[in-house]
Amino acid sequence: MLATGLAVILAISRIMGMKRLWAGFGCTSGIYLAKRVIEEGLELFGYMLIFAWAAPYLPLPRLVDESSDSSRSHRSRIASRE
């Protein structure tokens, strides 16, 4: 997924942003907004692919179970210090 995202960002979105390509389709200067939307949308899609690849590697906060013995012993140590 990382390679696909990079390919979309570095190649496909740049190709879709080329004025020569749009001129080849017979588009006039009024189509500039559509060209920008397509180019930026492809870049966003590439970034989302990269994020989807990286998401499993992001650190997640650890959840502490209040009913576990370790949390009770920790609370009792804190109470004994006071």
Let me know the angle formed at the C-alpha of 37 by 34 and 43, rounded to the nearest 5 degrees. Answer: 140
The answer to whether the predicted template modeling score (pTM) of the entire model surpasses 0.85 is no
Is 67 contained in some domain? no
Could you give the CA distance from residue 23 to residue 51 in angstroms, rounded to a whole number? Answer: 33
Q: Is residue 81 part of a domain?
A: no
- The reported pLDDT for the residue numbered 45 is 94
Q: How far apart are CA 40 and CA 79, in angstroms?
A: 57
Tokens of 52: 């989807």
Tell whether 3 is covered by a domain. yes
- Considering the domain boundaries, does residue 37 fall inside one? yes
Q: What pLDDT score does 52 carry?
A: 94
pLDDT at 36: 83
- DSSP code at position 8: I
Give residues with Cβ within 8 angstroms of 40, minimum separation 6. 13
Give the per-residue pLDDT at 74.
Answer: 55
Query: What's the domain range around 30?
Result: 1-56
Q: Quote the pLDDT of residue 65.
A: 64
Number of structural domains, the chain?
1
Which parts of the chain have pLDDT scores under 50?
A: none
Q: Is residue 13 part of a domain?
A: yes
